[in-house]
Amino acid sequence: MKTNNHRKSWIALLIALSMLIVLTLLDNWSGTPAMLLTVLRKGSIYALVVVSMNLLNGFTGLFSLGQAGFMLLGAYTYAVLTVPVEDQSAVYQRYATGGVGFSITETLSGAMGQFGLLIGVIFCLLLAGLVAGVFAWLIGLPVLKLKSDYLAIATLGFAEIIRAVVMYEKLGPVTNGSNLLYGFTNFSDFHIGGLKLDTVMPFIFSGLCILVVVLLINSTYGRVFKAIRDDEIAAEAMGINLAKHKRMSFIISSFFAGISGALLAMYQASVQANTFKASMTYEILLIVVIGGIGSISGSAIASFLFVGCSEWFLRFLDNDTKLKNFNAKLIFAIVFGLVVVGLAALIFRKTRKMERMEKLWRQIPVGLLCLGLVAWDIWFVISPNLKLPLLRSGFRMVVFSVVIMIVVLFFREGIMGDRELWDMKRRRPAANAKAGEPK
C-alpha cells in the first residue's frame, strides 16, 4: 500500500516535471502559435479560480457568486504593492500623491536579483490571498447564515460593492480609481539566463495552489465539507460545527480566488476594476458546471477547454467568412449535416435512457429541429451563396449559450461528474440509490 502510494507520487512528479519542460520549450520556440500560449497561460489561471469556486459550490454545497470580487481584491492588492517606484507618478498621473511609495518586488529583486523577485512575487501573491481571505471572513460572519439562493445573492452583491469601492474617487491615490493599473511585476520579468518563463510561471503557481486544494479535499476537512454538502443536519448531529467549517471553506476558497486574481493581473500586465464584473463570476460558474460539480480535474480540463474555445477555436464565429469555391461549401455542408445528426442521435439516446417510453413525444421538437437544420443545409448547397450565414461579431456568445443549454439539459454531470482523473481506473462503487429506500 505504502510503496504503491510512493510510486504514484513519483509518477505524478515526473509527469509534472516533463510538463514544465515541454512548456518551457514551447515558450522559447519561435514556431509556437501565440494563441496556444495565451490559452495555456489564461487557462492555468482560470483553472485555479474555477477550482476555488468548486471547493465552495461543489464540495461544501454553498452556492456563492462572489468569486470575481475576491479576485479583484487579490489583483489590486498585488498590483498596488508591486508597481515600480519610478513608474508610480506615471501610473497615478491623475492623483498628485498617487502610489504607495514602495514596491516589494522591486526592492527584493534589486537586492537579490531573480531569486529576490520570486520571493517578492510569492510574498505578494500570499498577501493578495490573505486580503481576500480576511474580507471573506468579514463577509462570512453575516452572510454564511443564509442558505442557497440567498447566499448567492448576498455574495454577488458583495462583489459588486467591492468593485464600486475600488473605483471610488477618494481611494484613487491607492487604487487609481477606475483607471488602469499597469507596469507592475508580471510573468515576463521572470527568466533564467535568456530563457523565457512566461507560460511556466502561471502553471507553477496555480498548480501548487491546486495541489494544496486537492490535499485539503482528501484530508479530514475535505471529507467534512462533503458531509456538510450531503446532509447538513446529519453533519451537525455528528459533532461538526457547521458555522466554523462553512466559514473555513469560504475563506480558503476566497484565498485562492485572491491569488488567482493576482495571477490574472500578472498575465494581463494591467488591472482595471471594470473587468471583474458579475459576468466573470458567471463565466467561472459555467466552467465549474461544464467540468463537473465536485471534480477538481474536471474543473481544470474545462478551464482550458473554455479558454481555448473563447479565445481561439471559436473566434472564427465572430468573423464574416466567405467560402472559396463550391467544393469547400460541399465539405462544409457535409460536416455540418453530420454534426447535427450526430448531436440529435446523442440527445435521443440520452432522453431514452432518462424517460419512460410514453414520454417519447418529447423527442419530436429535437427531431424537427434536426430535420429543419438538415433541410437548410441542403438548401445552402443548392443556393449560389458562398458567404457563410450567421457568422458575425457576437455570434460566438450565441453558440456558447446554446452549448451551455445543451450541457445543462442533457449532460448535467459535466465532463467528469464528481469523479477525478486519477480515480478513473478504479471502479466506482455502484450508486444504486433505489435499493436502500424503504418500501
Partner 1 sequence: MSKNILKVENATMQFGGVVAVDNLNLEINEGEIVSLIGPNGAGKTTAFNVITGVYAPTNGCVWFDEQKIIENHPQGKMKKLYKGQHAGEYTHVTAPTPDVVTKLGMARTFQNIRLWKSQTVFDNVLIAKHLRRTSNLLTATFRLNRKEEEAQRADVERLLDIVGLSEAKGELATSLPYGKQRRLEIARALATEPKLLLLDEPAAGMNPQETNELTEFIGQIRSKLGLTVFLIEHHMDLVMDISDRIYVLDFGKLIAHGTPAEIQSDQRVIDAYLGVAEDA
For residues 2 and 356, which CB has a smaller minimum distance to partner 1 in the complex? 2
Helix (H) or strand (E) holding 60: none
C-alpha cell at 54: 468548486
- For residue 415, the 8-state DSSP code is T
Q: In angstroms, what is the minimal distance from the CB of 243 to partner 1?
A: 8
Least CB distance to partner 1 at residue 224 (A): 5
Closer to partner 1 at the Cβ: 193 or 436? 436
Min CB(154)–partner 1 separation in Å: 22
Dist. CA 212–CA 44, nearest whole Å = 15
* Cell numbers for 293: 460539480
Least distance in angstroms from the C-beta of 284 to partner 1: 23
Residues that bind partner 1 (CB under 8 A): 212, 215-216, 219-221, 223-224, 226-227, 229-231, 233-242, 248, 294, 418, 429-433, 435-439
Q: Is the dihedral of CA 22, 23, 29, 30 positive or negative?
A: positive
Q: How far is the CB of 222 from partner 1 (least distance, A)?
A: 9
194/239 with CB nearer partner 1: 239
CB of 262 to partner 1, least distance (A): 21
SS3 117: helix
Q: Which of 415, 411, 337 is nearest to 380 (CA)?
A: 337
Please report how close the Cβ of residue 57 comes to partner 1 at its closest, in angstroms. Answer: 15
Cβ distance to partner 1 smaller for residue 30 or 220: 220
Q: How far is the CB of 226 from partner 1 (least distance, A)?
A: 6
Cell numbers linked to 177: 480609481
Rounded CA separation 78/271 (Å): 10
Provide the strand spans (E) within 222-341: 270-271
Our measurement of the distance from residue 27's CA atom to the centroid of its chain's CA atoms, rounded to an integer in Å, reads 22
User: Which cell goes with 68?
Assistant: 470575481
- CA distance linking residue 211 with residue 201, whole number of Å: 15
CB atoms closer than 10 angstroms to residue 103: 25
CB of 158 to partner 1, least distance (A): 24
| Residue 102 φ then ψ, to 5° | -145, 165
Beta carbon nearer to partner 1, 229 or 329: 229
Which amino acid type is present at position 336?
F
Percentages of the chain per state (helix, strand, coil), in multiples of 5: 75, 0, 25
Q: Which is nearer to partner 1, 241 or 401 (CB)?
A: 241
What is the DSSP annotation of 372-395?
Answer: HHHHHHHHHHHSS--BPSS-STTH
Complex with partner 1: residue 101 or 436, whichever CB lies closer: 436
Instruction: Output 148 or 279, the one with its CB closest to partner 1.
Output: 148
**Residue with Cβ nearer partner 1 (83 or 213):** 213
* Eight-class DSSP state of 291: H
Q: Between β-strands 181-182 and 191-192, what pairing exists: parallel, antiparallel or unpaired? A: unpaired
Using the structure block, give the residue that is written with the C-alpha cell 492623483. Answer: 95
